[in-house]
């Protein structure tokens, strides 16, 4: 089954053609970073307008790259939420129109579920059950995953998402948008022990996260230095970001390992844009080895937003005969 997948939940216009939910025939991502960069974050109205411009060329490119025409497609999968509603509506309306015009089966996909399932695009995916951590610009949640559609949420952030914290700290230090990749890069040569930022772990029993206090600690650290962050010596910037990154990574790794221990599971899967972070990947591997857990990390390009992961999930549901009605709506807070 060849599935045409579309993803427009935030600031990337993405389309893919996926064979039998596993083999990627094409996977095109058009980033809007240059548009939003000067505002230091995604401007929702600009994002939806850009999706409208990009959707036809990107879907056309995905079909061409996969060397298929719409006639050879067997189903359509599209992100229904969560995300920016204006952005979601562009992809969803487009997908519904194509489904209506061609009569192809169509299914709406949860973006968080797509992130958590991106690992199945890899050569050696895990067997269920496992612990799934999704860490992106909008989400930081831990799930117990027993099968497709069989998920129990074990914890989530009570305030900022981890990626949001990366983006806000980068903005504060004048490092541009998105913050995650810049902080990742600068941290490689910074000292993670230079500044002891708080590790927000809430209570010992909770698998919830909280990152706003850590962000405030960085703000307060910057405040005591009278000069603007742009004029800081490069070494100080590196030390601040690597110390901040270390605090985020430590909390994420600790809670993920705790979740596996409490659930008695031996496999953990990371997903979402922040899962592309080098330090997080290194630390989760080290701690998992120590705790005798097996860790599964999607390639960085499957961590950040893409349509292949949407095609993967869409296939699982389409093959079970599930369909969405053409009246399907987009929801910014679609739960999983």
Q: Which residues bind ligand KG4 (CB under 6 A)?
A: 10, 136-138, 163, 166-167, 178-181, 184, 272-274, 276-277, 304-305
Dihedral of the CA atoms 62, 313, 49, 27 (nearest 10)?
A: -20
Q: Which C-beta is closer to ligand KG4: that of 108 or that of 138?
A: 138
Smallest distance, ligand KG4 to C-beta of residue 251, A: 14
For 110, how many CA atoms within 13 A lie in the half-sphere containing its CB? 15
Q: Which does 132 bind (CB under 5 to 8 A by kind): Zn ion, ligand KG4, none?
A: none
Going residue by residue from 132 to 171, which x/- string records binding to Zn ion, judged by CB under 5 A? ----x-----------------------------------
| Residues 252-291 interacting with Zn ion (rule: CB under 5 A) | none
Q: What pairing do the DSSP bridges indicate for beta strands 267-271 and 130-135? A: parallel
Smallest distance, ligand KG4 to C-beta of residue 194, A: 19
138 three-class SS? coil
Q: How far is CA 251 from CA 49, 132, 192, 211, 314, in A?
A: 37, 15, 14, 10, 32
Cα 78 from chain centroid (whole Å) = 16
Q: Which does 192 bind (CB under 5 to 8 A by kind): ligand KG4, Zn ion, none?
A: none
Smallest distance, Zn ion to C-beta of residue 138, A: 7
Q: What is the DSSP letter of 157?
A: B
Smallest distance, Zn ion to C-beta of residue 143, A: 15
Q: For Zn ion, which stretch binds (CB under 5 A), given 95-103, 128-136, 195-203, 204-212? A: 128-136
Smallest distance, ligand KG4 to C-beta of residue 36, A: 11
**Cβ 135 vs Cβ 123: under 8 Å:** no
Q: For Zn ion, which stretch binds (CB under 5 A), given 17-25, 164-172, 210-218, 304-312? A: 304-312
Q: Which C-beta is closer to ligand KG4: that of 98 or that of 119?
A: 119
**Cβ 177 vs Cβ 33: under 8 Å:** yes
Quick count: other Cβ atoms within 10 Å of Cβ 228?
A: 10
Assign residue 144 a region (left: φ > 0; alpha: ψ between -120 and 50; beta: otherwise). Answer: beta
- 147: part of which helix (H) or strand (E)? strand 140-147
Q: Does residue 305 touch Zn ion according to CB under 5 A?
A: yes
Q: Which C-beta is closer to ligand KG4: that of 26 or that of 110?
A: 110
Q: Which does 277 bind (CB under 5 to 8 A by kind): ligand KG4, Zn ion, none?
A: ligand KG4
**Cβ 243 vs Cβ 190: under 8 Å:** yes
Smallest distance, ligand KG4 to C-beta of residue 147, A: 23
Smallest distance, Zn ion to C-beta of residue 112, A: 8
Distance between CA atoms of 301 and 91, rounded to whole angstroms? 20
Q: Which two tokens stand for residue 133?
A: 């951590």
Q: Residues in the site for Zn ion, rule: CB under 5 A?
A: 136, 305
């Amino acid at each position: 089954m060849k599935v045409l997948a579309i993803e427009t939940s935030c600031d990337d216009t993405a389309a893919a053609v996926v064979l039998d939910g596993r083999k990627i025939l094409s996977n095109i991502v058009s980033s809007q970073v240059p548009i939003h960069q000067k505002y230091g974050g995604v401007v929702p109205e600009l994002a939806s307008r850009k999706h409208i411009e990009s959707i036809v060329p990107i879907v056309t490119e995905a079909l061409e790259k996969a060397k298929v025409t719409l006639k050879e497609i067997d189903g359509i999968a599209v992100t229904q939420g969560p995300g920016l509603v204006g952005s979601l509506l562009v992809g969803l309306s487009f997908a519904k129109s194509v489904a209506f015009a061609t009569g192809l089966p169509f299914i709406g996909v949860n973006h968080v579920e797509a992130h958590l399932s991106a690992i199945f695009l890899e050569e050696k995916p895990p067997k269920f059950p496992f612990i799934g951590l999704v860490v992106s610009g909008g989400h930081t949640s831990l799930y117990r995953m027993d099968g497709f559609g069989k998920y129990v949420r074990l914890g989530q952030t009570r305030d900022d998402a981890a990626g949001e914290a990366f983006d806000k700290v980068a903005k504060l230090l004048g490092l541009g948008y998105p913050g995650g990749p810049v902080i990742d890069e600068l941290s490689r040569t910074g000292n993670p022990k230079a500044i002891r930022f708080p590790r927000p772990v809430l209570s010992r029993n909770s698998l919830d996260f909280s990152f706003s206090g850590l962000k405030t600690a960085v703000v307060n650290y910057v405040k005591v230095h009278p000069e603007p962050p742009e004029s800081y010596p490069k070494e100080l910037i590196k030390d601040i970001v690597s110390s901040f990154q270390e605090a985020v990574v430590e909390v994420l790794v600790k809670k993920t390992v705790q979740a596996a221990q409490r659930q008695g599971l031996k496999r953990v899967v990371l997903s979402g844009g922040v899962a592309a972070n080098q330090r997080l990947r290194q630390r989760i591997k080290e701690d998992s080895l120590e705790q005798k857990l097996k860790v599964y990390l999607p390639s960085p390009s499957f961590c950040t937003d893409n349509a292949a992961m949407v095609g993967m999930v869409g296939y699982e549901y389409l093959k079970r005969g599930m369909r969405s009605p053409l009246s399907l709506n987009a929801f910014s807070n679609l739960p999983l």
